[in-house]
Amino acid sequence: MLFWPSLGYALIGALLAALLTPIPALHVYNVAGLLLLAYDGLRPLLPPEGLAMFLMGMVTGYAMLNAIPAVFFTAPDESVLFVVLPGQKYLLQRRGYEAVLLTGLGGLGGVMVLVALAPVASRLFPTLRAILQPHLPWILVTITAYMLLSEWPKGTDRARTSWGKLAEAWRSLGAGLFTFFLSGLLGIILFRRNLVPVTVAYQGLLPAFLGLFAIPWLLQNIITRIELPPQYVASSVDISLPLLLRGVAAGALGGFLAAFFPVITGGIGGFLAGHATAQRDDRLFLLSQGASRVVYYVGGFLLFFVPGLHLTRGGMAWMVDPLYRPGGPEALYRAVAALLAAGLLAFFLLPPLTRLALGLVGRLGYRTTSVVSLGLVLALLLGLTGPGGLLVAAVATGIGLIPVLWGSRRMNGLGLLLIPVTLNMLGVGSRVAGWLGL
């Protein structure tokens, strides 16, 4: 394929992502899956490499722009969950617009990191994979252990007795562990016997993720009746060049951990990078999470194009693999050009789309927006996965409400992936499933 048509496909994909941005909980993989179902009819207009460039533009636009619904409509997926926490603080301080722009700046930095690494990718990543591949099981076990051990007690220290203080401290810790193991049990069941129809198997974990992360947050917003103050549209952001570079570097580190290692999602990668670089500033946090998200989604897909690697990390590469196989360094550089063009377009679309979201929230109110978002989430689930998907989401929502009610980390819901995949890598997944009657 020629260079300019591939750029055109990528820009169209980024524009589609921008149009879909206001719809909460509509993940780019859902749209890509529906597109692939209809691809036989689109093949005359969209050749296989054109499809790959179109999806590269779409995933880049999604990674850059999805901070808007995450901050204003609060239906986050797991990879953007951490952005919402300081983002809500900024909202209450009338600075939601600034929060989105900081996240977008970090995302643009992530795009530049990917472009800069492209010339050495074919030498660096195949070597890195060969070194790390035999050690993946214990690396995953170590990351999981650190994630659980780093949960800090959230007691108020108001109990009068030592036993009371111990119980108060273990309230959040126990809830976190309980969430992790319950979500892991759900993951083991879904990996073996999923209620989602076979025709949409690529959406198999969608109900569980929405139930664990999006629906509990929306229910919390509806019940608590949060009222947002009028938002201020800033003409600039309070950031210095050293802080920008530090935030992008930390986010890129987390994003690469998530893109390169199996099961390590963007949320876990950002969490590890934040601890490694001792982040304390909210601005630094938003920048790093924006960069981490872009490197996780876009970098994971870009690894599919690296000569000598052809790594199918993430849902997009997995879906494209049966239809298209990149050949040689030319395909890699076309993909890099596509992500750069889509990233720049998405960044310039970020301010007007954020102002549009501000106007929507201002007219509807935060609680009404959350009610509408919840309705869209449930309609999406029913349309894509049927009644079985709604049942899975209901179970996952029960698990996802535990951190909300008991003050533990919502990230513990990632036991959904970590436990079954780690057990399979250790070679005991089938035995555990047998013990559970699966």
Q: What is the pLDDT of residues 132-172, one digit of tens each?
A: 888 888 888 888 888 888 877 766 667 677 777 777 778 88
pLDDT for res 346: 93
Q: Is the pLDDT at 433 greater than 70, yes or no? A: yes
Task: Please state, rounded to an integer, the average pLDDT across all residues of the chain.
Answer: 82
Q: How confident is the model at residue 25 (pLDDT cuts 50, 70, 90)?
A: low
Chain centroid to Cα 133, Å, comes to 24
Which sequence spans correspond to the domains of the chain? 3-435
Contact status, residue 436 vs residue 419, Cβ threshold 8 Å: no
Over residues 414-428, the pLDDT tens digits come to 888 889 988 888 888
User: In which band, very low, low, confident or very high, does the pLDDT at 201 lie, cut at 50, 70 and 90?
Assistant: low
- Which candidate, 272, 349, 400, 375, places its Cα nearest to that of 68? 349
Mean pLDDT of 177-191: 92
Task: Examine the pLDDT at 315 and tell me if it is beyond 60.
Answer: yes
Q: Given pLDDT bands bounded at 50, 70 and 90, which one contains residue 404? A: confident
Does 272 have pLDDT greater than 80?
Answer: no
112-122: average pLDDT: 90
Please classify residue 184 by burial: count the beta carbons closer than 10 Å to its beta carbon, then call 0-12 exposed, 13-18 middle and 19+ buried.
buried
Q: Which residues contact 211 (CB under 8 A, 6 or more apart)?
A: 392, 393, 394, 395, 396, 397, 398, 399, 400
pLDDT band per the 50, 70, 90 thresholds, residue 276: low
Whether 114 shows a pLDDT value over 70: the answer reads: yes
Q: What is the per-residue pLDDT for 183?
A: 93
Tell me what pLDDT residue 340 has.
93
Q: What is the CA radius of gyration of the chain?
A: 21
pLDDT of 15: 93
User: What does the DSSP assignment read for 175-190?
Assistant: HHHHHHHHHHHHHHHH
pLDDT surpasses 80 at 41:
no
**Residue 28 pLDDT > 90:** no
Distance CA 237, CA 97 (A): 10
Which one has a higher pLDDT value, 392 or 317?
Answer: 392
pTM of structure: 0.83
- pLDDT(47) > 90: no
Q: What pLDDT was estimated at residue 2?
A: 59
18 pLDDT more than 80: yes
Q: How far apart are CA 428 and CA 431, in angstroms?
A: 5
